[in-house]
Structure 1
Amino acid sequence: MYFRHASDVWRDFPGLSAGILHAEGIHRDVSIDAHIAGFEAAAKARLAASAEGEFPESQAWRRAFSRMGLKPTQYRSASEALLRRFRKDEYLPRIHPLIDLCNAASLAFAIPIAVFDLSRVAGHLEVRYASGSEIYTTFSGETEHPEQHEVIFADEEGRAHARRWTNRQSGYSAVGDETTTVLVVAEALHARAETDVSRLVDELAGAIAAAWIINPRSAILGRSSPRFDI
């Protein structure tokens, strides 16, 4: 089992940097409030200075979405959408300790983070252009097919685990009460992407290790090292 970005994704988006975390032993019975508070404080400080859409991280994803033929204010990256909600409501609803922690880290770094329950992923997981035949399951249980040439996260059986790249994950592989093994993917395209993704992965890995008393594996992927073996 492995994770990678397809070669044509690296070709079309050479500034991409991706941080990966693989963790086993995940469960609900942990306290992550202190870690979340620290991440949220960092997000509040940034939002006090400028709106989330003006962040260089968000601007880079808006350019990518435009290149994919999407209206960037209609389809936002997950991090920009979270920041927008956080700015308006001043909090995010709690879902699962790991999701809550990753959402808070996404707020702090303005970088989208996807989290997949690996028991629901068949074989390899690849970020690639869609053929249009893949199956995507919404959180409400409805079935969709990605648009042809849309960037998706797809497994070996042709199931799409995220649509429009960093816009929307699938309910099929979402983290839940039975989840024990996960893959966390953080992606950025802005000028400081590699530095910021590396720092995000380090801080998130430290928080996961402290909360769950486990040692997650991590890597930073680039065009010259595009694959993470699970």
Structure 2
Amino acid sequence: MSTAEEWLAGASIDPSVSALRPDYRALLIVAEGLRPGPGDARSEELLAEAEAKACDPEEHPHVAEWREAFRAFGAKPKRTRPSVDALLRRAGEGLPRIDRLTDLYNAVSVSHVVPLGGEDLDHYAGPLRLTRADGTEPFELMSGGEPVVENPRPGEVVWRDDAGVTCRRWNWRQCVRTRLTTRTTRAVFILDALGAMDDAALEAAGRDLADALEVPTATRVLRA
């Protein structure tokens, strides 16, 4: 098994994505020895704080830039919203409570207005890379309680590994194979930034996530 630093060193952004958004950066955080399980007092506290200070997604420049990024590869952001846009729209009625690790990163996502996802590192096959799909890659999900395999549209921006797509439309929907569960102890967290979010703000979001996870982390910034 590779070390966190070795695995992070293999992550990449395809030039086709760099051409689409040269201002894009991804902060990758690998955390090991995590404490999974259902939500607890700490995750509830952070979610409540995030709900209280959630901004209007219609007024925030980072959300606006993410909608433009989605349009640039053919997605319709009102139908398939960037992840932080979708979360902010739910904050008024209450953010979802899913499990401890997911709740922690959702709270940081809303508080810092940054798309943020978490994946179970023990279910990865090879390195993580951001690319544009050719349309044949498998994407595993559940539909009606049954496992289903779909394919992204050609040209869609996707995160993937050697086994297939781990997240469609940049940060819209994660696959079931690598999603966090109440048994996850090793994970990679991906924070997505465009020009409206500078490096200092991205780093601050990463620090807050690392503090919430309360375990040692390894990090790398990928730049388009």
TM-score, structure 2 length as denominator? 0.87
Say if 2:46 and 2:104, in contact at 8 Å, map to a contact too: no
Distance 1:149 1:42 in 2: 34
What letter corresponds to residue 24 of structure 2 in structure 1?
A: L
- Uncovered stretches (5+) of structure 2, i.e. residues with no partner: 1-6
Matched, 1:203 2:173: no
Say if 2:43 and 2:100, in contact at 8 Å, map to a contact too: no
Q: Structure 1, residues 121-172: CA drift from partner, whole Å, max 9, x if none?
A: 1101111000111000124322101111111111123x11111111111112
Secondary structure at 1:132's aligned position in 2?
A: coil
Matched, 1:65 2:70: yes
Report which stretch shifted further, 5-14 or 58-67. Answer: 5-14
Say if 1:36 and 1:104, in contact at 8 Å, map to a contact too: no
- Uncovered stretches (5+) of structure 1, i.e. residues with no partner: 224-230
- 2:176 matched residue in structure 1: 171
- 2:30 matched residue in structure 1: 22
- 2:120 matched residue in structure 1: 117
**Gap change, CA 1:134 and 1:23, over 3 Å in 2:** same
- 1:104 matched residue in structure 2: 107
Matched, 1:10 2:11: no
- 2:96 matched residue in structure 1: 93
Give, in angstroms, the shift of residue 183 of structure 1: 0.5
Give, in angstroms, the shift of residue 29 of structure 1: 5.2
Distance 1:93 1:191 in 2: 26
Instruction: Point out 4+ residue stretches in structure 1 off by more than 3 angstroms.
Output: 29-36
Q: Structure 1, residues 14-68: CA drift from partner, whole Å, max 9, x if none?
A: 1112111101112325875346534643553343xxx212211110101101111
Secondary structure at 1:53's aligned position in 2?
A: coil
Query: Which of residues 120, 135, 159 is equivalent to 1:153?
Result: 159
